[in-house]
Structure 1
Amino acid sequence: MEKMFREIGYVVEGKDVLIQMLPEYAQGLTGLKGFSHLMVLWYPHKANTGEEAPILVEKPYRLAPEALGIFATRSPLRPNSICVSIATVASVDESQGTIGLWWIDAEDGTPVLDIKPYHPSSDRVRDVTLPAWCASWPGYYEESGDFAWDKEFLF
């Protein structure tokens, strides 16, 4: 079964990082002010998403096993190339149809498919466990910016 998705906006990188909503979706920002974080679903348009996604990948992380299933990774090359990021909100301008972000791991021009407010009653889990190969990674989003991710990835 094939499904179609529509872009609701796109990432703009410049002096600031923004999500620019398409005009027909800008009114959907009503009530978003006050949320500190968002879940942003986006399409990795610069990745080779036309390729058949590998189901098993060679050791993508320094301490990972020799092979990992694609669903144990955060790679944008997937059977359905949809990425999700948690982003910290800097501003919301309903009249301009923009959301200012402190940072997002998507590139300039990246199509945004959906935005959801991050809410701890449904998006945060208290008792998380991880496999040993990634147990040294930061425990919180806020610690990720200072973490040496370049020493973890092998690509």
Structure 2
Amino acid sequence: MLPSESYNIIPVGVVAGTQNNLRLEIRPEYRPALKGLDAFSHCQILWWIHEFAEPSFRETTQIDPPYDAPVTGVFATRSPVRPNPLGLTVAGILSVDIERGRVEVSGLDAYPGTPVLDIKAYFPSADRVRQVRVPEWAASWGEWALQ
């Protein structure tokens, strides 16, 4: 039998700025956790897709993607509509200000006001895959999202 536990997740911050100039605003009690992040070029940002957190969205298990793809299970997509609306983005780190709790980033596909759940440093040795396979409908997508 699968566990039916629930978990209490507390945001560490929020996405702020404009769509072309985003930053993470980190809560004061979590600012010490930013120490050393500025030595990395990229990080993984785990965020709550709050626009799709309603129960009706969370019950969706398959979607008809907006691009040329077949009906697909949400676990085989990057759709924001899913049982647990978690977003994960690899973003470039432009600057880190520990005192103000600000991390300026590039490549984040979240909106201002989005809750930030966690930040993890990007380690190529652990986070990169040398040989991958994708379905035909995604094969023409670019090889790299960020430089």
Code of the residue aligned with 1:120 in structure 2: it is P
Residue aligning to 2:59: 53
8 Å CA contact 1:8–1:113 kept in 2: the answer is yes
Matched, 1:41 2:11: no
Code of the residue aligned with 1:54 in structure 2: it is T
Deviations 1:7-60 (A, max 9, x none): 0000002373110000000010001112111100000112253324311222x0
What is the CA–CA distance in structure 1 between the aligned matches of 2:104 and 2:121, rounded to whole Å?
A: 14
What is the CA–CA distance in structure 2 between the aligned matches of 1:142 and 1:83, rounded to whole Å?
A: 17
Identity over aligned pairs, percent: 39
Give TM-score scaled by structure 2 length: 0.89
- Secondary structure at 1:46 match in 2: helix
Residue aligning to 1:24: 29
Which residue of the other structure, out of 76, 80, 84, is the alignment partner of 2:84?
80
Which blocks of at least 5 consecutive residues in structure 2 are unaligned?
A: none
1:6-17 alignment runs, 5 A limit: 6-14=10-18, 16-17=21-22
Residues paired across the two proteins, number: 141
Give TM-score scaled by structure 1 length: 0.85
> Following TM superposition, where does structure 1 have runs of at least 4 consecutive aligned residues deviating by more than 3 angstroms?
none
RMSD: 1.5
What is the CA–CA distance in structure 2 between the aligned matches of 1:102 and 1:140, rounded to whole Å?
A: 14
Residue aligning to 2:129: 125
